């Protein structure tokens, strides 16, 4: 059978398949071998992942999430989390002592744990594979 490997990176992710004794990195729908580990939510509630999400960072910064992996497994009060939050254009709040990402979709607020954001990126990588 074919072996597939996924690298879920903090800033970029990629998918490789092992066949004929070598690893081949698979290009995404944009033709890129690496995919930004970004998830964005549009005003209409559409979820964008990868290049599409990163491409609208400047027009929709508060609803574009990146570096979520840096928050996984940490407590909200962790100094590294507090330092990261200062640089993020999106909102990170405390829920049950953990960092939680707060997104506004229209007049509605949605909350995501960093693991959920990473799972969305992982899902995209599975599609590419």
What is the model's pLDDT at position 1? 75
pTM of the model: 0.94
Fold of 3-128: Nucleotidyltransferase; domain 5 (3.30.420)
Per-residue pLDDT of the chain (129 residues; tens, 9 = 90+): 789 999 999 999 999 999 888 999 999 999 999 999 999 999 998 999 999 999 999 999 999 999 999 999 999 999 999 999 999 999 999 999 999 999 999 889 999 999 999 999 999 999 998
pLDDT for res 85: 97
In the beta sheet, which residues pair with residue 111? 102
């Amino acid at each position: 059978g074919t072996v597939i490997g996924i690298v879920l990176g903090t800033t970029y992710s990629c998918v490789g398949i092992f066949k004929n004794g070598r690893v081949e990195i698979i290009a995404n729908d944009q033709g890129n071998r690496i995919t930004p580990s970004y998830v964005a939510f549009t005003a209409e509630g559409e979820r964008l992942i990868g290049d599409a999400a990163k491409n609208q960072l400047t027009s929709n910064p508060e609803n574009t999430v990146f570096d979520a992996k840096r928050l996984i497994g940490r407590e909200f009060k962790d100094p590294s989390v507090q330092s990261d939050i200062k640089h993020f254009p999106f909102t990170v709040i405390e829920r049950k002592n953990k960092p939680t990402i707060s997104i506004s979709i229209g007049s509605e607020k949605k909350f995501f744990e960093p693991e959920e954001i990473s799972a969305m990126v992982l899902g995209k990588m599975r599609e590419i594979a």
